[in-house]
Structure 1
Amino acid sequence: MKHVVYISVLALSVHHLASAQVADSMKSATRNTATSQTMRLDSIRKRVGAGNAVAPSAVTPGVAISVPERPGLSTQGEVPVFSYGSLPIQDHNVVRSYYLDLAFNKTTCIIFKSPIRSVDLGSKDIIADKANAVDNVLRVKASSIGFNETNFSVMTSDGQFYSFVVNYNEYPTMLALDLSVNEEGLVQQKARFVNQKGTVVSFAGVNTSQQEIVQNCSSIMEHNRRVKHIGINKYDIQASLRGLYYKDNVLYYKIGVKNKSNIRYDLDFIRFFIVDKTLAKETSHQELEVIPLYVYNQPLVIIPGQKSVEKIYVFQKFTIPDDKVVQVIMGEKNGGRTVTFTMANQDILDADIL
């Protein structure tokens, strides 16, 4: 009987001892977990910054740790974990490319809304340069036959970036691309001539676009005659300067031609020269021809009898010395009615401001 009691007591002692050991193990595990959490939190503090860190004294074993949220930081259970994955590329981050075919024996012209600031070519198999006298037209073509696919990019003065992917094709379907016209935020791809109505062309040294120039010309056409002392009346043809205007580094010469005869006048040309005063009457001694940037009413070349036509010639701003004059020469196609008149530098300086 005593043996049975001793065995029961011994078994109970062993049971209590085992329970105590298990409790000690659990407490130790809890302390180790808290210590591990504290160490990981210290590491996180170094990465995130002291502003979002949790002080070690605030960590209590067995208590969940709360860490302020921050981009790049996530939590699994009660332990904060960093995410090192790359950021996904969103659609709005992608600059889409235009696809062009270029030929060796043909030039493709691209019209931009603003002046071109830089061009980067993907390979030496293509060449590009800005068109003469304009800042927003790029000419590009193949420099070798049958090149592999490449690309080029363009940056313009308004901060826009354009990307192009090009392939070789000796028979491209498009030789002109107009990127100056936007409709509902989408860039249209339309083949247009450089001087076609509606195409925006920016001239070198001029602080305006062709679209604005056309609008100014349309406004000037509504003005009454402002200049009355410059012109000529010969062969029953009256040619005169009817207005001179200035805006944004641009001069607008409003020229009127009236046919007082009954024989129609087929206008061949109106040209402008800067000449010495002593040579102004000798049309064979032109010194320097001034080429207009744009001509309003350019297609009007037939002047019926007893009718008149007005044109506007647009120039980049210029002045002349006092010993020179601007000579305007107007010629008839298949005829001899050529007339000439001049204007002095003071006439230019008296231009009206638009």
Structure 2
Amino acid sequence: MKKLLILAAGLALSLRGFSQNEPVKSFPDKQVVRPYRVEVTFTKTVHILFPAAVTYVDLGSTDLIAGKADGAENVVRIKAAVRNFSGETNFSVITADGCFYSFNATYSAEPGQLNIEMEDWLHKDPYSDFANDRMYIRLDELGNETPLVVNRIMHTIYERNAREIRTVGSKHFGVQAWLKGVYIHNDLMFLHTSFRNFTRVPFDIDFIRFRIADKNVAKRTALQETFIKPVRVYNELARIGAKKTVRSVYAFGKITIPDDKVLVMEIYESNGGRHQSFRIENPELVNARFVDELKIK
């Protein structure tokens, strides 16, 4: 029995020595989210502006207090909760477009930067090396695709600017709206639209909406319709200037409709009556082009 105890003790010591001498694994650079450095203080507030609405803020310690600015979904205000805290702490932010931001915070009586605007790398140039190095959160609404992939698709459709469809649109009151193309990638569908204002009066957009409605509605029959919202918009519009042409790309979850239904796009003018609408029928949707054909990187 004594021999067994001695052998067990020896084995335990040898295993402990093995674990201590075993090399420690480190993460490769591409798997590490490198933090931004921010100085905070007790008597002043630092405001950080993000390209999209903030959905999550986590603080590394009670040395910090933070929250979204009142009435502004994309602004985080942060300051020191105690004077002259020592060392370094951190905080993290996730935005609605799926981007993840990491910050290291240190105390400074006079921070060098009180108002910071984060670069919109996701939309500015989704093919840049910087965008490749960022971390993104996978969102259910994007069909398990990363925000970077979705934005690359929309960016490519927009820059390519092809007119695949020529028969769907409307033109009234000197304003024209039309559908240029429909594309599909896995469980996401993309609509490329264009708007042109032939008049000298700007068209201020009140809202744009999409609904699935009956193709033919008989008199005295209740209208059956369902409103759907895009999960992403590339180049979202607020105004169509005088004599201007503008375009947008809308991303939706996969859309399928029976032959007796249509997808209706409606564009309403703010404080005006030059509203536009057009109907997209089932053949345009089921014959959507594969995004792979666009050679997305």
The TM-score bracket by the shorter chain reads 0.5 to 0.7
- 1:328 maps to 265
2:93 aligned with 1:177, yes or no? yes
* Residue ranges of structure 1 left out of the alignment (5+ in a row): 1-39, 49-71, 74-80, 99-130, 132-136, 142-163
Q: d(CA) in 1 for partners of 2:179 and 2:116?
A: 33
Alignment RMSD: 4.6
- In the TM superposition, residue 192 of structure 1 has moved relative to its aligned partner by 10
Question: Structure 1 residues 329 and 91, CA, compared in 2 at 3 Å: closer, same or farther?
Answer: farther
1:204 aligns with 2:140: yes
State the alpha-carbon separation in 2 of the partners of residues 139 and 178 from structure 1: 5
Instruction: Report 1 or 2 for greater relative contact order, CA contacts < 8 Å, sequence distance ≥ 6.
Output: 2
Check if 1:274 corresponds to 2:212.
yes
Structure 2: stretches of 5+ with no match in the other structure: 28-34, 36-52, 68-77, 80-90, 105-114, 123-134, 292-297
Q: 1:192 to 1:177 in 2, by over 3 A?
A: farther
Determine the structure 2 residue equivalent to 1:78: none
Q: Deviations over 1:133-155 (max 9, x none)?
A: xxxx97579xxxxxxxxxxxxxx
Alpha-carbon contact 2:183-2:190 (below 8 Å) kept: yes
C-alpha distance in 2 between matches for 1:209 and 1:317: 16
2:102 to 168, 188, 199: 188
- In structure 2, the residue corresponding to 1:188 is in which secondary structure? strand
Q: Deviations 1:117-164 (Å, cap 9, x if unpaired)? A: xxxxxxxxxxxxxx9xxxxx97579xxxxxxxxxxxxxxxxxxxxxx8
Alignment length (residue pairs):
218
Q: Percent identity?
A: 25
Deviations 1:156-211 (A, max 9, x none): xxxxxxxx8664976562886149779xxxx8338999xx6538453315131222
Deviation at 1:88, TM superposition (A): 4.5
Q: 1:250 aligns with which of 176, 188, 192?
A: 188
Alpha-carbon distance in 1 for matches of 2:245, 2:223: 30
Task: Quote the offset at 1:351 in angstroms.
Answer: 0.4
- How far off its partner does 1:344 sit? 1.2
- By how many angstroms is 1:269 displaced? 2.0
**What's the CA shift string for 1:9-54, capped at 9, x where partnerless?**
xxxxxxxxxxxxxxxxxxxxxxxxxxxxxxx9x8699769xxxxxx
Answer whether contact 1:331 1:339 (CA < 8 A) is retained. yes
- Go from structure 1 to structure 2 and tell me whether the alpha carbon gap of 1:88 and 1:306 turns closer, same or farther (over 3 Å shift): same
Q: Any idea what SS the aligned residue of 1:278 has? A: coil
> Following TM superposition, by how much is the alpha carbon of 1:333 offset from its aligned partner in structure 2, in angstroms?
1.4
Separation of aligned partners in 2, 1:341 and 1:239: 8
Larger Rg: 1
Distance 1:93 1:341, change over 3 A: same
* Secondary structure class of the residue paired with 1:320: coil
Tell me the equivalent position of 1:149. none
